[in-house]
Structure 1
Amino acid sequence: MLFDLTLLTLALTTFASANPISKRAPKHLSYPLHKVEYNETHEIAKRSGHSSLPLDNYYDFGYYANISIGSNKAPLHVQVDTGSYQLWIPESKTGDSLNKFDPFISKTYKNESKPYEITYVGQDSVKGYYGTDDLWLPDGTKVPNYEFATVYQYSRSTPFWGIAGSTVKNISVANAMRNAGLIDHAAYSIELGALHAQKASLVFGAIDRAKYNGNLTILPKGDGTGVLTNSVTFANGKKFNIGINLPIDTGAPFTYLSKPIADPILTELSGGKLNSDYTFDCSIANQNKNLTFNFNGVNIDIPYSDLIRQSGSKCVSTILVDTFQVLGDNFLRHAYVAWNFDTNKVGLAQATHSDKTDLIDFYF
């Protein structure tokens, strides 16, 4: 009988390890984003240190979320920005009917008596003061003691909601969520969807395995929100070395590169001859070709259709020349990115643009 019982125990143990009956879902907060498209000249301001960034973009996108702040749940329509870590909101005296906040109405607001200032390229500084209050997500989840800025001077009425990591306790929303016990990791993953998709996927605290091909390649986080970009490979197999840290940023509609890097890429994209006004043959966008960004162990293909855009009667590239360098939305629409700010690592893979969901815990 003892022998039989031992066999039964072994059999049950083997069955349990090979066929887990249930798997604990990771603590997460799924966040729907929607895309706003501008089919005309539209002024967009973006921070970039002391460099100069063109503000008039011929055709651009922004990825937006609806959140609320304070005990009165003041509604906000904010542009999600993976390149910064702060939220600022116009105060009630200056904000429009949607994006404004009155700290005197919210019973949970605490003024930190700490000045706030950030400079956007080509425009005046945004100035205000820091405070904390409850942040409310669309599903009713409350993120307590979230630190943000209420501003009285600003150059655009739609706030940026920076979601990158920070060493400050609750100024990063991922930190605030983790500290409140809503997620286990100060981390998020994002997939913007295809070029003409109207929705994007943002998940705090978990990775969506259905949204990328193969396995995530785990890379060390560079300066800021950057990742070391080794090179690009053209459709004809030629390779051009880059070897620089490039931020990955939803707040930038396009990819911006310095002239020594951008010009060789744009020359190859144009078929060998780059026009002095940086215009392109519009038929290039219809070619079934990719420009491939190469990282350490993973390659991300960007189709030509997301690199060439109509601008009036001409076509131009969504890779622009500037001293401020960043991989923008035209890159992110084809990459699945998972940031873990607790470990300062990033997972990167080719995006699938799948509607399915398969959430797993952060493992790196």
Structure 2
Amino acid sequence: MRLLFGAACAALTSTCLASPGYLKLDIERRTPSEPRLVRRQNSDGSVDTVLTQNTNKLEYLVNITLGTPAQHLAVTLDTGSSDLWVPAASAPLCKKGGCDNGVFDPTLSSTYTVVDQDGFNITYAAPGDSDAGDWATDTLSVGGSTAIKKQQIGVASTLFDPHGVMGVGFDTNEANNPSSEGVYPSVMDNLKSTGIINRLAYSLYLNDLQANKGAVIFGGVDTTKYTGDLVALPLQEGPEGIVSEFYVTLTSVSFTDETGKTTQLSPDGYAQSVLLDSGTSQTLLTDDVFNALANGFGAVGIGQGSYVVPCRFAKINGTINYSFGGDGGVTIKVPVSQVVGNQDFTAENFADESGGCDFGFGPPIGGFSIFGDTFLRSAYAVFDISNSVAALAQAAENKADTSSIVVIPTGTTIPGATVTATATGTQIPDAEATEEPAVPSASVQGTSLVLAGTPTFNIGVQSTASTAAAAASTSSSGRANAAAPTAALLGLGLAAGAMVL
């Protein structure tokens, strides 16, 4: 079974625990290699199951060991959740070979204890995305760290996801569990209580889209991984009216083309709470900003929250600019090359000779505006649970081989963060959250050719129709038919919507 041992430390070496107070782990980037069954809820309440390749949704994984003797697994690192769960070897999906990042067999561990049989159930934002099984405890090592004994975990025998998740958020955001206090010591809590880190804080560097490796440093900040100022942003209340997730205030969004012209996409006075979430692939924006951005690029919707643009757009010398915190805040510039993903359509099926590629944006899900991997790849982010603060700076690309790590001490200061922005934001009003994006759905010519949209931005490259497009336009069935995502379009092998964890 192929595992991601490139990030693991077999023992406490300088590549893993370089000095007291922090723990550094490499993050391996993976593209899901197997098709997966995605449940899609229809407007009438019925549910279809669609087989999708899902090749455009990247995953960021870290290595852990669990049990005695140790069993090796790779799990998604998720800033947007707080539980560690792993797939059980007995799960039907795993028995069929669908769990290629490792499985956990409780019967092989002498330190395994069931806490609540059938009590574990976690549901993420994507429709049907639930995993369930037992709550249990066992011995955990994170990337070769000192052993954490009796770490509470979920062991999922009913799976939607093919591998586990390590949530590194607030323990107050944990899934329902048998604790009388409502929370149990999370992985973050135990990293601190065992003395591995000094504060409930860590930094995240996903690196750019062309890199295969990034890093998370529990208890530390690497000053070589960002440029400019590291700006602290007080966390905002979430939908429940409390600070229990990494919501920060977004105050401006704009697009700068290769000529240097900047187009403002957000309205005056914009102040929106957005969730920093490494478990989400896309960046999910409020409808007003998403509409302006998607139409500017001529994106077309292909269903299930996915949008497509010509693949040649990945070569555009432009940036999408996000400002946080208002006056004295920070602006993160995301190159267009970082948001145009893997190919969904070949030139034969898309009206552009470069083919159609995933556009890494979408409208909000259930009223949540989420900044996932298509944003976080361009940002260096520090998450301070103890003080309810996040800090952002522009990421320094392709610096995986450099290192200058400063320990995050006890107290309130974040190393390198000399500025604190204070603007506050709001959640999306329910009425706005239910609006449909004003972005065209994909249209087809005949039964196989998906038409590209018409950009309104100056994108610096001219559209060139493919041979397939020209042929289809002269065929007897060449009339353009407006088509929201239908069975005919899904039959072309469209990728599913955002993997939201």
TM-score by length of 2: 0.61
Picking from 213, 217, 225, the partner of 2:246 is 225
How many aligned positions are there? 331
Q: Does 1:349 align with 2:343?
A: no
Counterpart for residue 66 of structure 1: 63
Q: How far off its partner does 1:57 sit? A: 4.1
Picking from 150, 156, 159, the partner of 2:161 is 156
Q: How far off its partner does 1:110 sit? A: 3.0
Counterpart for residue 332 of structure 2: 300
Q: Does 1:319 align with 2:367?
A: no
Instruction: Give the whole-Å Cα distance in 2 for the aligned partners of 1:44 and 1:63.
Output: 20
Q: How far off its partner does 1:27 sit? A: 0.5
Counterpart for residue 27 of structure 1: 21
Counterpart for residue 127 of structure 1: 132
Picking from 200, 213, 220, the partner of 1:199 is 213
Q: Which amino acid aligns with 1:333?
A: R
Counterpart for residue 142 of structure 1: 147
Instruction: Give the whole-Å Cα distance in 2 for the aligned partners of 1:92 and 1:323.
Output: 32
Q: How far off its partner does 1:76 sit? A: 1.2
- 1:202-226 deviation digits (Å, cap 9, x = unpaired): 1001111111112310011223222
Instruction: Give the whole-Å Cα distance in 2 for the aligned partners of 1:266 and 1:154.
Output: 33
Alpha carbons of structure 1 residues 113 and 311: separation in structure 2 relative to 1, 3 Å: closer
- The 5 A counterparts of 1:159-198 are 159-167=164-172, 171-198=185-212
Counterpart for residue 244 of structure 1: 272
Secondary structure of residue in 2 paired with 1:214: strand
- 1:112-163 deviation digits (Å, cap 9, x = unpaired): 2272211242326322222222111333521223221112212122112212
Q: How far off its partner does 1:164 sit? A: 1.7
Picking from 83, 86, 96, the partner of 1:86 is 83
Alpha carbons of structure 1 residues 161 and 275: separation in structure 2 relative to 1, 3 Å: closer
Contact 1:39–1:60, Cα closer than 8 Å, also in 2: no
Alpha carbons of structure 1 residues 358 and 44: separation in structure 2 relative to 1, 3 Å: farther
Secondary structure of residue in 2 paired with 1:262: helix
Instruction: Give the whole-Å Cα distance in 2 for the aligned partners of 1:207 and 1:139.
Output: 19
The answer for unaligned runs of 5 or more in structure 1 is 1-23, 46-51
Instruction: Give the whole-Å Cα distance in 1 for the aligned partners of 2:37 and 2:322.
Output: 28
- The 5 A counterparts of 1:283-298 are 283-296=312-325, 297-298=329-330
Larger displacement relative to structure 2 (146-155 or 99-108): 99-108
Q: Choose between structure 1 and 2: higher strand proportion.
A: 1
- Percent identical pairs in the alignment equals 26
Q: Does 1:280 align with 2:329?
A: no
Q: Does 1:257 align with 2:301?
A: no
Q: Which amino acid aligns with 1:189?
A: S
Alpha carbons of structure 1 residues 141 and 323: separation in structure 2 relative to 1, 3 Å: same
Larger displacement relative to structure 2 (134-143 or 286-295): 134-143
Q: How far off its partner does 1:285 sit? A: 2.4
Secondary structure of residue in 2 paired with 1:305: helix
Picking from 194, 211, 218, the partner of 2:225 is 211
Contact 1:169–1:175, Cα closer than 8 Å, also in 2: no
Q: How far off its partner does 1:104 sit? A: 4.0
Instruction: Give the whole-Å Cα distance in 2 for the aligned partners of 1:331 and 1:44.
Output: 24
Contact 1:26–1:360, Cα closer than 8 Å, also in 2: no
Alpha carbons of structure 1 residues 57 and 247: separation in structure 2 relative to 1, 3 Å: farther
